[in-house]
């Protein structure tokens, strides 16, 4: 996620902007920049990399002025580079932006047809062009120019506009991306997150979707997009700076679990074609006619996403899919070559084993598509095409929102391949898309069930071992539940296909063994139920993840966590959430270092 800071008042703005951006560093970024009004003109300094680079640059290009905006960019559209860094300046207009402009392609073409030239690959530059066009067309008020521009924009944004024509003010607006205004005395602030401005004021206005704010040193005026005045309340923020970084959550992992509905929405944004009932994946150009088989390579949690992806692609597009642990792939002389599509899944895009697998497959002539969260990281760079998840930076070592957004990327690939090769009818695709679009709300419902999971964590948190069982598309979720629990709580846990239990792990079951069973309604449900009777007969403690309305499961399970109904092929996006929360609360109960568990690194760059 990118970071925004803006200042208007009597003080020098650059130190305030840099200090604010530094407070947002924890969110991750790959370039940074500031724009400051100086004697009738705005000057911009940007650079790739860390804030230290920007500060160094600012010792060479000195900016002075008391109205300014700053930004740290986490690349989503366009590589991390100085030209793609914000602020984007067009004519006299400078813009910083968080979020995704969904209709950026259409707008870019429309603006280019009027003779406008673009200097970056970003969607943000479009906003600067639109506002500039309004001002050039004679709109006198900067607020009006921004409102008019935003009426053409679809998507998510938190943005701040600075214009040479109105040197005493900032205009800010937001839809579906956070933005907070800091109310000072004779000065005002804006930021994408509280920590950036908390040292200056605790009086804050949380902008609502569709609101536009105009900030001068003396006043803040807020309207809706139609220009009607609004007066959202000023609230006093009592958090300390660490609490503010975590948005009030105790750990980043918990924050990231709760961010999943937003992350999934962002990953879907602009990628659904409602008329043809297809996925819009122009960035990767997939043609099922040229694909003999698909091989998914990944490690850890990303491997579990790949295993779910196999079910999705085989079900929707009927193309055979193999899943390989990237760490094993190249050592087994894999049968891979021209006509094969290798999909590498990696949050960081830097995992050494996955990168090595990509190179091996490429050398043997396969086409490589990567699914990654970090734009322009090594794995996408080594691939023929990349589909980026828009989870935003994941700070907790235990992967959560990266995983669910990888599932969305795989679901979109499955949908697109199925539509292109005709294996998925329009009606079935429509239903699938409806289900996809409902996921964020359903995921939020599941994530909001903290209390029962906290109770379970206390009840079972002292167990020595856990068993996780699931079947079919939820078998990888059993593996993921076990991985999450062991990596952050240090409790030994195993994930198994429920059908395999009787072939070994059943020997472990006694009254001390909690068995977490993923049992949503759908194919395999009856089989899972019969596996549960085997657990029950050996006095194992059953914690079931089941579908709301299930009348049967309560008679056999000791504990039941309910999820909303959804299509089986998408059920992993819901069933995984209680498992993430269970692991989190067990780890918290045990007092481990949840965000940085022992012996683990966020990005494993050694083989």
Which residues are tagged catalytic?
Answer: 2, 602
Cα-Cα-Cα-Cα dihedral sign, residues 416, 417, 422, 424: negative
**Shortest distance, CB of residue 344 to ligand M6R, whole angstroms?**
9
H helices, E strands: number in the chain: 18, 27
Among 124, 211, 347, 389, binds ligand M6R (CB under 6 A): 347
Q: Give CA–CA dist 342/364, Å, rounded.
A: 11
Q: Which two tokens stand for residue 523?
A: 């194919």
**In the complex, least distance from residue 350 CB atom to ligand M6R, rounded to whole angstroms:** 7
Angle at 446 between CA 443 and CA 449, to 5 degrees: 150
Q: Determine if 604 is a binding residue for ligand M6R (CB under 6 A).
A: yes
| Near ligand M6R in 466-485, by CB under 6 A | 483
**124 binding ligand M6R? (CB under 6 A):** no
User: Are the C-beta atoms of residues 175 and 146 closer than 8 Å to each other?
Assistant: no
Rounded to 10°, the helix 124-136/104-113 angle is 40
Residues numbered 285-314 forming contacts with ligand M6R, rule: CB under 6 A: 299-302
Structure tokens, 288: 């099922």
| Residue 592 beta carbon to ligand M6R: minimum distance, rounded to whole angstroms | 14
Per CB under 6 A, which region of 245-253, 427-435, 504-512, 599-607 contacts ligand M6R?
Answer: 599-607
Contact between 405 and ligand M6R per CB under 6 A? no
Cis amide linkage into residue 87, ω under 30° from 0 = yes
Residue 122 touches ligand M6R, criterion: CB under 6 A: no
Stretch that binds ligand M6R, among 47-55, 211-219, 221-229, 342-350 (CB under 6 A): 342-350
Which residues from 477-536 bind ligand M6R, rule CB under 6 A?
Answer: 483, 487
For residue 163, state whether it binds ligand M6R (rule: CB under 6 A). Answer: no
* Nearest CB to ligand M6R, comparing residues 198 and 397: 397
Asked whether 181 and 6 are in contact (CB, 8 A), the reply is no
Measured in degrees and rounded to the nearest 5, phi and psi for residue 148 equal -60, -40
For ligand M6R, the closer of residues 592 and 603 by Cβ is: 603
Angle between helices 572-590 and 450-460 (to 10 degrees): 50
Does 392 contact ligand M6R by CB under 6 A?
no
Cα distances (Å, whole numbers) of residue 441 to 24, 133, 264, 455: 28, 37, 10, 24
Region for 470 from its dihedrals, namely left if φ exceeds 0, alpha if ψ lies in -120 to 50, beta otherwise: beta
Find residue 4's DSSP bridge partners. 71
The secondary structure of residue 522, as a DSSP letter, is S
Query: Least distance in Å: CB of 349 to ligand M6R?
Result: 7
Interface with ligand M6R (CB under 6 A), residue total 17
Nearer to ligand M6R, 9 or 481 (CB): 481
Tokens of 589: 């109960």
Q: Could you tell me which of 105, 94, 118, 104 has the C-alpha nearest to residue 46?
A: 94
Q: Is 221 in the site for ligand M6R (CB under 6 A)?
A: no
Does residue number 351 form part of the binding site for ligand M6R (CB under 6 A)?
Answer: yes
Q: Does 354 bind ligand M6R (CB under 6 A)?
A: yes
Q: How far is the CB of 604 from ligand M6R (least distance, A)?
A: 5
244 is a contact residue toward ligand M6R (CB under 6 A): no
Q: Which of 34, 398, 477, 498 binds ligand M6R (CB under 6 A)?
A: 398
Asked if residues 70 and 34 have their Cβ atoms less than 8 Å apart, the reply is: yes
Judged by the rule CB under 6 A, the positions of this chain that interact with ligand M6R are 299-302, 346-348, 351, 354, 397-399, 483, 487, 600, 603-604
């Amino acid at each position: 996620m990118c970071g925004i800071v803006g200042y208007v008042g009597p003080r020098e703005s650059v130190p305030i902007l840099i200090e604010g951006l530094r407070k947002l560093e924890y969110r991750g970024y790959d370039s940074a920049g500031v724009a400051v009004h100086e004697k009738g003109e705005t000057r911009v300094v940007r650079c790739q990399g860390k804030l230290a680079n920007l500060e160094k640059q600012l010792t060479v290009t000195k900016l002075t002025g008391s109205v300014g905006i700053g930004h740290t960019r986490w690349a989503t559209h366009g590589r991390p580079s100085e030209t793609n860094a914000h602020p984007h300046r067009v004519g006299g207009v400078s813009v910083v932006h968080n979020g995704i402009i969904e209709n950026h392609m259409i707008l870019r073409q429309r603006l280019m047809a009027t003779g406008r030239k673009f200097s970056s690959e970003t969607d943000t530059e479009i906003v600067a062009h639109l506002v500039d066009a309004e001002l050039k067309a004679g709109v006198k008020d900067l607020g009006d120019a921004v409102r008019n521009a935003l009426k053409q924009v679809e998507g998510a944004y938190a943005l701040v506009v600075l214009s040479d024509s109105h040197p005493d003010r900032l205009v800010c607006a937001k839809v579906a991306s956070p933005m907070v205004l800091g109310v000072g005395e004779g000065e005002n602030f804006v930021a994408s997150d509280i920590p950036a401005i908390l040292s200056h004021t605790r009086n804050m206005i949380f902008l609502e979707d569709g609101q536009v704010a105009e900030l001068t040193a003396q006043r803040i005026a807020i309207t809706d997009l139609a220009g009607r005045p609004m007066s959202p309340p000023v609230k006093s923020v009592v958090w300390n700076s660490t609490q503010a970084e975590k948005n009030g959550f105790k750990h980043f992992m918990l924050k990231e679990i709760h961010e999943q509905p937003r992350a999934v929405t962002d990953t879907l944004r602009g990628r659904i074609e409602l008329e043809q009932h297809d996925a819009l994946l122009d960035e990767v150009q997939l043609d099922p006619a040229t694909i003999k088989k698909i091989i998914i390579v990944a490690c850890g949690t990303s491997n579990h996403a790949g295993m779910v992806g196999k079910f999705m692609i085989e079900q929707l597009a009927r193309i055979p899919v193999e899943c390989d642990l990237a760490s094993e792939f190249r050592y087994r002389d894999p049968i891979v070559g021209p006509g094969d599509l290798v999909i590498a899944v990696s949050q960081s895009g830097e995992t050494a084993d996955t990168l090595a697998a990509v190179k091996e497959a490429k050398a043997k002539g396969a086409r490589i598509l990567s699914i990654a969260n970090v734009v322009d990281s090594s794995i996408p760079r080594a691939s023929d095409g990349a589909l980026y998840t828009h989870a935003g930076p994941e700070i907790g070592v235990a992967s959560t929102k990266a995983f669910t957004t990888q599932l969305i990327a795989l679901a979109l690939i499955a949908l697109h391949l199925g539509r292109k090769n005709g294996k998925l009818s329009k009606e079935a695709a429509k239903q699938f898309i409806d289900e996809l679009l409902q996921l964020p709300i359903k995921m939020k419902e599941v994530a909001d069930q903290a209390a029962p999971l906290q109770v379970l964590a206390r009840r079972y948190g002292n167990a020595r071992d856990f068993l996780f069982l699931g079947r079919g598309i939820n078998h990888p979720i059993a593996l993921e539940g076990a991985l999450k629990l062991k990596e952050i709580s240090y409790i030994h846990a195993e994930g198994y296909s429920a059908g395999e239990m009787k072939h070994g792990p059943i020997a472990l079951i006694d009254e001390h063994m909690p068995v977490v069973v993923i049992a949503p309604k759908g194919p395999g449900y009856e089989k899972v139920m019969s596996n549960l009777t085997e657990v029950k007969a050996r006095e194992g403690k059953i914690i079931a993840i089941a579908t709301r309305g299930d009348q049967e499961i309560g008679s056999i399970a000791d504990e039941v966590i309910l999820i909303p109904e959804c299509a089986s092929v998408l059920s992993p996006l819901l069933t995984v959430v209680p498992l993430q929360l269970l692991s989190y609360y067990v780890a918290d109960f045990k007092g481990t270092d949840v965000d940085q568990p022992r012996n683990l690194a966020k990005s494993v760059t050694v083989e």
